[in-house]
Amino acid sequence: MRLVNTKRARLAGLFITACVLLPSLAVAQPSGHYPPGVEGIKAGSIPPPGFYTKDYNYFYYAGRGDRMPPDLNVVTYVNVLRQIWVTKCKILGADYGMDALVPFCYTDLRAAGVKDSGFEVGDIYFEPLLLAWHWQQFDLGAGYAFWAPTGDFQNGPTAKPGKGFWSNMFTLGGTWYPAGEDKSWAISILNRYEIHTENDHINVTRGNNYTLEFGLSKNLEQKVDVGVIGYIQQQTTKDSGRGAVPAVLGPGYNRSVLDRVFGVGPEVNFFWGKAKLFISARYAYEFGARDRAEGHMACVTLTKIW
């Protein structure tokens, strides 16, 4: 391992890079692949050149929702190992990088009279284009990524982690440091747009999704960041294809309605200098759901700098 200076370590801690994905959460996130809230504070920043390993531990619980089965109860734990390489190559003045991840999913589901549980590998993710710009008071990140339908798929209420289709995601985000050179305050915004292909198993193309994540944070003693995170996820187009209508998951549930959800909560990050390790923990309470579940999200992430 090579040593990193303080500036680089702090900059690496500002990011949860501009394109990350965890797998589908059964009926908890019905439209696309990306579950909102996994990025957290300073989500618009990407780390400087180097190698990084991230271990995501994602927890989700939902027992309610709009147009959901009245007996809905879903508990999901997802462990994701992600390898990130940011090179010193420049594209339009930005550092060029790439990354990939493999998700391991456990889901326990109760919905519409169905009981199902299991632990399996989900859809694999690859990001061949990751661009990072860094200025004095602002970071900018952009990227393109896709998911391959490698996880097992099953229609209807299921614990199977696969979505059954390919997805493309475009990302643009930024982090602004308004307090001066010490960058003690940070305001971040991260935009994602998912475009899905047809699921050949059921002849349905899921509607596209837009996700906005934001964060406000304060750095304490150079090792700890505390803040508030939030997100909005909105389906932007209706499902299409021969199997799109009707597609009933429970009483009153129809896939032709555009789903959405909001979430907000706290986050804390800590940098362990000797181990060159960042530890982050965040929680979000969901509300305002339409045609989808809403519940509680928690994520603990370990980021190792090599």
CATH of the domain at 50: 2.40.160.40
pLDDT of 250: 43
pLDDT at 24 over 70: no
Domain for residue 162, yes or no?
yes
- Residue 255, pLDDT score: 53
pLDDT-derived band at 140 (thresholds 50, 70, 90) equals: very high
Residue 210 reports pLDDT greater than 50? yes
> Residue 197: pLDDT above 70?
yes
Quote the pTM value. 0.85
DSSP reduced 3-state for 10: helix
Predicted confidence at residue 158, as pLDDT, reads 81
Is 170 or 40 the better-scoring residue by pLDDT?
A: 170
Mean pLDDT value across residues 103-127:
92
Does residue 129 carry a pLDDT above 60?
yes
pLDDT beyond 50 at 5: no
Residue 181 has pLDDT above 80, yes or no: no
Predicted confidence (pLDDT) at residue 251 exceeds the cutoff of 70: no
- Indicate whether 114 pLDDT > 70: yes
Mean pLDDT of 191-209: 93
- In this model, does residue 3 exceed pLDDT 60? no
Question: Which of the four pLDDT bands, split at 50, 70 and 90, describes residue 30?
Answer: low
Q: pLDDT higher for 191 or 204?
A: 191
Question: Is residue 1, in this structure, part of any structural domain at all?
Answer: no
- CB of 175 closer than 8 Å to CB of 138: yes
> Is residue 115 assigned to a domain?
yes
Within a domain: residue 197? yes
pLDDT for position 245: 58
- The pLDDT of residue 264: 98
Domain range for 66 is 6-305
- 251 preceded by a cis bond (ω within 30 of 0): no
Asked if residue 127 is part of any domain, the answer here is: yes
**Contact call for residues 56 and 22 (beta carbons, < 8 A):** yes
Given a cut of 50, whether residue 72 has pLDDT beyond it is yes
Q: What is the mean pLDDT of residues 49-74?
A: 93
Q: Is residue 179 part of a domain?
A: yes
Assess whether pLDDT exceeds 70 at residue 139.
Answer: yes
Band (pLDDT 50/70/90 cuts) for residue 89 is very high
Query: Count of domains in the chain?
Result: 1
Residue 38, Cβ neighbours under 10 Å: how many? 23
Joined together, the tokens standing for residue 264 give 């907000």
pLDDT at 70 > cutoff 60: yes
Average pLDDT (70-94) is: 94
Name residues whose C-beta falls within 8 Å of residue 271's C-beta, 6 or more positions apart in sequence. Answer: 9, 10, 13, 222, 223, 224, 277, 278, 279
Tell me the mean pLDDT in the region 120-128. Answer: 95
Of the two residues 244 and 296, the one the predictor is more confident about is: 296
Q: Buried b vs exposed e over 152-166: b needs ≥16 C-beta within 10 Å?
A: bbeebbbbbbbbbbb
